[in-house]
A and B are shown apart, each in its own frame.
Chain A
Amino acid sequence: MAVPVRRWRFRAGGEDYTVPQNPASMSGVFPAKSISARASTAGRPLLFQGATPPQAWSFAGSCRSPEHYEALRHWTYDITGRILITDHFGRDIECVLTEFSAEPKRSVNVYWRHDYTISGLVLSVSVPTVGTSP
C-alpha cells in the first residue's frame, strides 16, 4: 500500500494550486554563507561574513496532463512576484521562479508526457511541519 505523501502546494495572493504529482527531485534550499577569510600579517585568520545571497534552487519531475503543464508554466512566468511553495516536508519556501524547462517524452497513451525542470531563487525556508511520516 502506497504511503500517501503531501502534495506540493503553490500559493500567491488569492491563487492556490496543489500539484497532481510531486517533483521527483530537488536541489538544496539552504544558501551558502558568504564568508571571506583574511589574515593578519602574522597569519592569524580573520573571518568576515557578508550578506547571504539567495540560493539557486531547482526541482524536476514529470507532468502527464496539459493542466499540470500549464499550471507550472503559469506559476513560473505569469506570476512575477514572490510565491510560497510548501513542499512535501511542510516547509514554506518563499521563492521566485525563474525558468520552466519542459522536455516532451514519448509515451504511449500519455500524449502530454513531459519531463520538466523548474529553477528559481530561494529567499527563505520555514521549519518543516512533517515528521517521520506524512
Chain B
Amino acid sequence: MRDVPQAMSDTWRGGDFTGDRRPIARVTLQQAKIELHSFSRVGGVYNTYASLPFGPDTPPKELPNVRSVSWDRDAESEIASCRISLANTQPQPVGTVLYRDLDQPGYFTFNRGDATYSSRWAQTPNEWSGLLLPDNIVRTYEGYGFDEQLCPEDDTHLMLTGCWLIDQVSYTADGLIEITARDFGRVLADQIAFTPVVPANFNPLTFTVQGDPPGFSPGGESENQRLTRIINDVRLGQRTFDDIRRSVDLLAYGPNRHYEPLPVDPARDAPFLTLRSQTKKRVEQIFTNRNVVLPLDPSTDGAPPRVEAGAGQEPGTYSDYSDIVKLFCAWGGFFWPAENSGSENAEQRLNRIVADVYLRRRSFDSVRVSVDRLAYGDDTTHYEPLPVPPERDNPFRNLANLTRQRIEQIFSNRGVPLSILVQNPGATMLKCDGSTVSYDYGPGPYGLPNALDPVLGENAGRVWGDFMQTGTHGKADLTAENFDKKSLLDCIVYIREIIGFLFYIDETGACVWRMPNIFQLGNNVATATQQPRRTTDTVVLDESVNLMDLSVTLSSRNIRERVFIANSDGSSAGVARTINPNPIGLRRVAGWTDQNFESKEECQLMADLIALRQLFSYRADRLTIPGYPKIQVDDQVKVFEQVTGEAYTHYVSGISSSLDHENGEYTYALTTQWLGEQPFSKWAFDPAQFSELTRSYLAYLGLAGPGPDPSTPATPSYPLGPVY
C-alpha cells in the first residue's frame, strides 16, 4: 500500500472522473545508463556494484501524445510488463508547413532526420533522436487530473506506477508507436551468473553457511560442518589468520600431538616471512616429535634467507638427508619435482627455491615438504602442504581449497579423526576437537565486522529495496551448479521457492523481498523512509461505491488433504493436514523433499505453510475497480458484494492496470485470494492447528500474534459510500 494525496482518494471514491478529475497518464523517457561503483579495496578483493535506477546522467523527458498505458504486475511473477501507445506526430504551428503533410508525422521516430534521404521529406534531427529505443527507461505516472505547469515527478495528481526498460518499440506507417517494456527485473533475467557480472574472485557462485556471531557455540556441529564454516569465513574474508593449524591427535605414528601449520600471511609485503619462520619451527617440531633431528636456520646476514636442513641419523632407517627431505614446488597448479641443478643437494635446492620465492621470482600456490621413511612407520610418503598464496588479490581461495582437500586427504588416508585448530590474531583460539568449540571473531580483511553481509556491506545503498530477514539458512551448501551460468533471476527464484518469500520489483524500481502479507491484518506501507511502516488499514472495495465487477472462483484443484515435507535422506519429515472447506474423504497427498531441511520441526513448519497457501488458493476473486495507485500487489483489501456474498479480506496477488486517454477509462483488474473475514476469529485459517514451531516462527517474524479485538470490526480506511 502506498500513501496517496487525499485528493486522489476523494476522487477515487467520488466516482466522477471527469473534468479536472479525469484519468491522466504521463510518461517520461530517459536514456538508460548503468553506473558502476567499486567497493573500497580491502583485502585485495575488487567488487563492483552496478546501479541502473540511479545510473543515468541525463534527466528524463516527458513523452507527449500518450494514447494508452497498461501494465501487469503479479506478486508471484518476478517481472512486470507494460505497454504504452502514443501517436507519432507533432502539431505544426498555425500557418507553417514543412512538407506536404498536416502537422509533423514521424516526429518521434528514433532516426528522424539522420538518414541520407531525410531531406526528401524535409526532416531534420530533433530532441527525440535516438531516444525511443530498446533498453532505455520509461516511467509511467497515473492518476486523476494533472497540472500542466509541473513535470510528472512533481505533479501531486499522479503517482509513479512503474519504472520500465523498453523491450521493443514498434513504429507504424499510420502514425502510432507501441512500446513494450518490462520492469527492472528484466536486467536480472537477461544477465547470467558469470563473469563479469559475478566478479572473478567469487565465480562460480557458491554459498555455504556463514560463520556464527561472536560467542556463539554451535555445539553439536559435526567436524565437517565446522570446517566448512571456517573455510567459508576465510573465503569471504570475514576472518584473518596468521596460521591455521591442524591439531592431529592419535596419529598412527605416535601418541604425541603436533601441529602442521598452514601459514596464511596477512601482511602483503612479506608473504613468505611467515612461511619461512613457520616452516622452520613446524618442520623442526614435526621431526623432533619423531626423533628426527632437522635443524633449519634462516640466514642472519641480510642476504636472501637460507634454510639449512640437516638430518639426524636413525640407525637402519635412513642414511641421507636427500632421501628424507624433498621439496616439491607447485607453480600455477602444476607440480614437478624440485629442480636438480647438477650436483646440488637437497639443502641447496631448498635454499634456492625459497630464495626465489622470497625475491618473488616465482609464485606458488603451494610448497610442500615431503617426508619419507619416518621412524614410526612404513615408507608411505605423505605431504604437508604449506599453501603460499600466489595472488595478492586472492589470498584465501587457494588456502580454502587446498586446506580442505589436503586435510581431508591426509586424514582420510590414515583413518584419523579430523580436528581443526584455527587461531585468529588477538582472539581466542578456536579449537575443534569434537567436544568443545569456542571462538571469537576479529575484523575481516574487508574491514567489516563479521556480522555484516559482504554484499549489503557497511555502506547503505549497495542494493535498493525492502529486504526482510528470512531468519533461517540452509543446511547444505548451495553449490555452483545451482547458479553457474544461470540467469540471476533464476538464482533468486531458487532461493525464493525454498523459503516461500516474495520477490518482485515495485513501482519505483526497487526490489521487494519479504514474506507474503497474509499472516496479519493490514498492509506494509511503502514510503521513502528507511523503515517502511505497517498499518492495519485496508482499502475497502464496496459495491455501493466503485466496485465495478467481481467474479469469484472456488476451486479445490490445488487443495491436498495431506502435505509432507522431508529432507533428501528422509531423516527428517513433517506432515500437515490441509484445510478443505468441503471435505468429502479424499486423501490427496502432495510432497516435497529438499536437502536444506535439517530437522523434523523445519519440515513441519514448511508443511504448515504450504497447507496455508493451498487454502488461500481455494477461493480466488477477480474484480475491477477504478484505477487506484494506492493499492499494490501484496496488499490486503476488503471486498463487499451482495450477489457473490463476498465480505472477506483478500490478498492482492496481481494487478492489471489499463488507462485509455481516448475513452477515458482507468481501471484496475485485481486478482485476489481470500484470507478470511476477521483475523483470529474468522480468519481463513486457524493458527491453533499449526505446530508450535510454526506459530513461534510466525511470531518471530512479527507476522502473527494477538490481533485486534475480534469483537470490534476492523475500521476500514474509508467509510462506506451511500447505497444507491
**Contact of B96 with A by CB under 8 A:** yes
How many chain B residues touch A (Cβ–Cβ < 8 Å)?
41
B97 at the interface (CB under 8 A from A): yes
Complexed CA–CA distance, A81 and B550 (Å): 48
Q: Is the CB of B22 within 8 A of A81?
A: no
The chain B residue sitting closest to A98, CB to CB, is B102
A-side residues, CB < 8 A to B, are 11-15, 33-36, 38-51, 79-84, 94, 96
Task: Please state if A13 and B96 are interface contacts (CB–CB under 8 Å).
Answer: yes
B545:A51 contact, CB within 8 angstroms: no
Whether B18 sits at the interface, judged by CB under 8 Å, is: yes
Extra contacts, 13 of them, besides A48-B18, A50-B661 (Cβ < 8 A), are: A12-B94, A12-B95, A38-B548, A38-B665, A40-B15, A40-B544, A41-B641, A46-B17, A47-B18, A50-B22, A82-B102, A82-B103, A84-B94
Q: Is B543 a contact partner of A40 (Cβ separation < 8 A)?
A: yes
CB distance from B274 to the nearest CB of A (A): 77
- Find chain B residues with CB under 8 A from A12 CB: 94-95
A131 to chain B, nearest CB (A): 26
* Interface positions of B from 666 to 688, Cβ below 8 Å from A: 666
Interface contact A46-B15, CB-CB below 8 Å:
yes
CB distance from B541 to the nearest CB of A (A): 10
Q: Is B723 an interface residue (CB 8 A)?
A: yes
Residues of B close to A15: CB separation below 8 A? 95
A47 & B16 in contact (Cβ 8 Å cutoff): yes
Q: Mark B86-103, 1 if CB is under 8 A from A, else 0.
A: 000001111111001111
What are some 10 contacts across the A-B interface (CB < 8 A)?
A13-B96, A36-B664, A41-B642, A42-B544, A42-B642, A42-B723, A44-B724, A47-B15, A81-B97, A82-B93
Residues of A within 8 A of B642 (CB): 41-42
What CA separation (Å) do A82 and B101 show in the bound complex?
Answer: 11
Interface residue B662 (Cβ < 8 Å from any Cβ of A): yes
In the bound complex, residues from chain B placing their C-beta under 8 Å from that of A94 are: 94
Which chain B residues border A34 with CB–CB below 8 Å?
A: 662-664
Q: Distance (Å) between the CB of A42 and the closest chain B CB?
A: 4
Q: Hey, which chain B residues are within 8 Å of A96, CB to CB?
A: 102
A41-B643 in contact (CB<8A): yes
- Interface majority SS (helix, strand, loop, mixed), chain B: loop
Give B94-115 interface residues, CB cut-off 8 Å to A: 94-97, 100-103
B546 near A50 with CB under 8 A, answer no
A81 to B664, Cβ gap below 8 A? Answer: no
Q: Which residues of A contact B626 (CB under 8 A)?
A: 46
Residue of A nearest to B641 (CB): A41
Residues of B whose CB lies within 8 Å of any CB of A are 15-19, 22-23, 91-97, 100-103, 542-550, 626, 641-643, 660-666, 721, 723-724
- Whether the pair A50, B92 counts as a contact (CB closer than 8 A) is no
Whether the pair B18, A35 counts as a contact (CB closer than 8 A) is: yes
**B665 touching A82, Cβ below 8 Å:** no
Nearest CB of chain A from residue B104's CB, rounded to whole Å: 10
Given the known interface contacts A41-B643, A94-B94, the answer about A48 and B22 at a Cβ–Cβ threshold of 8 Å is yes
Q: How far is the CA of A47 from the CA of B19 in the complex (A)?
A: 10
Known: A47-B17, A81-B96. A36 touches B548 (CB 8 A): no
Q: Is the CB of A48 within 8 A of B17?
A: yes
B258 CB to closest chain A CB (Å) equals 83
Whether A81 lies near B547 (C-beta < 8 A) is: no
For A45, the closest partner residue in chain B by CB is B15
Evaluate contact between A48 and B664: CB separation under 8 angstroms. yes
Select one of A41, A49, A79 contacting B664, CB under 8 A: A49
Does A41 lie within 8 Å of B101, measured CB to CB? no
Q: Report the nearest A residue to B660, measured CB to CB.
A: A50
Contacting residue for A81 out of B103, B661, B662, B724, CB 8 A = B103
Question: In the assembly, what is the distance between CA of A49 and CA of B20, in Å?
Answer: 10
Complex alpha-carbon distance, A12 and B97, angstroms: 10
Q: Does A80 lie within 8 Å of B543, measured CB to CB?
A: no
The complex places the Cα of A40 from the Cα of B102 at a distance, in Å, of 42
In the complex, chain B residues whose CB is within 8 Å of the CB of A47: 15-18
Q: CA separation between A34 and B664, bound complex, in Å?
A: 8
A35 touches B664 (CB 8 A): yes
Cα A120 to Cα B103 in complex, Å, equals 15
A-B CB proximity, top 4 nearest: A13-B95, A50-B664, A12-B95, A49-B18
Contact A80 to B100, CB < 8 A, known contacts A33-B18, A47-B18: yes
Bound-state CA distance A42–B724 (Å) is: 7
In the assembled complex, the CB of A88 is this many whole angstroms from the nearest CB of chain B, namely 20
Closest A residue by C-beta to B94: A82
What is the CB-to-nearest-CB distance from A50 to chain B, in angstroms, rounded to a whole number? 3
- Would A81 and B546 be within 8 Å (CB), given that A35-B18, A41-B641, A44-B15 are in contact? no
Of all chain A residues, which has the CB nearest B102?
A80
Task: Report the separation of the CA atoms of residues A46 and B91 in the bound assembly, to the nearest whole angstrom.
Answer: 33
Q: Which residues of chain A are within 8 angstroms of B93 by Cβ–Cβ distance?
A: 82
A40-B92 contact, Cβ under 8 Å, with A48-B18, A48-B663, A50-B663: no
A48 CA / B548 CA spacing, docked (Å): 13
Contact of A11 among B15, B19, B95, B100 (CB under 8 A): B95
Question: Chain B residues near A83 (CB, 8 Å)?
Answer: 94-95
Chain A residues contacting B97 (CB-CB under 8 Å) are 13, 79-81
The answer to whether A80 and B101 touch across the interface, beta carbons within 8 angstroms, is yes
Does the CB pair B22–A49 fall under 8 Å? yes
> When the two chains form their complex, are residues B543 and A42 in contact, meaning their CB atoms are under 8 A apart?
yes
Task: List A contacts of B724 (CB < 8 A).
Answer: 40, 42-44
Asked if B19 and A44 sit within 8 Å, CB to CB, the answer is no
Residues in B whose Cβ lies below 8 Å from that of A13: 94-97
Residue from B542, B546, B626, B661 having most chain A Cβ neighbours under 10 A: B546
Q: How far is the CA of A130 from the CA of B489 in the complex (A)?
A: 68
Please name all residues of chain A whose beta carbon is closer than 8 Å to the beta carbon of B91 when the two chains form the complex.
82
B17 with A51: CB separation less than 8 A: no
CA distance A96 to B600 in the complex (A): 78
How far is the CB of A124 from the nearest CB of chain B, in Å?
10
Find chain B residues with CB under 8 A from A80 CB: 97, 100-102
Q: CA A48 – CA B24 in complex, angstroms?
A: 11
Task: State in angstroms the CA–CA spacing of A81 and B104 once bound together.
Answer: 10
Interfacial chain A residues near B103, Cβ < 8 Å: 81-82
Query: Judging by beta carbons under 8 Å apart, are A44 and B100 in contact?
Result: no
Cα–Cα distance between A15 and B97 once the two chains are bound (Å): 13
CB-nearest residue of chain A to B92: A81
Q: Is the CB of B662 within 8 A of A51?
A: yes
Complex-state Cα separation, A83 to B102, whole angstroms: 11
Q: Chain A CB within 10 Å — which of B93, B661, B664 has the most?
A: B664
Nearest Cβ distance between residue A31 and chain B, in whole angstroms? 13
CA distance A12 to B93 in the complex (A): 9
Whole-angstrom distance between the Cβ of A57 and the nearest chain B Cβ: 16
A31 to B19, CA, bound (A): 14
Given contacts A12-B94, A12-B95, contact A49 B15 (CB under 8 A): no
Question: A11, A41, A48, A49: which contacts B550 (Cβ < 8 A)?
Answer: A41
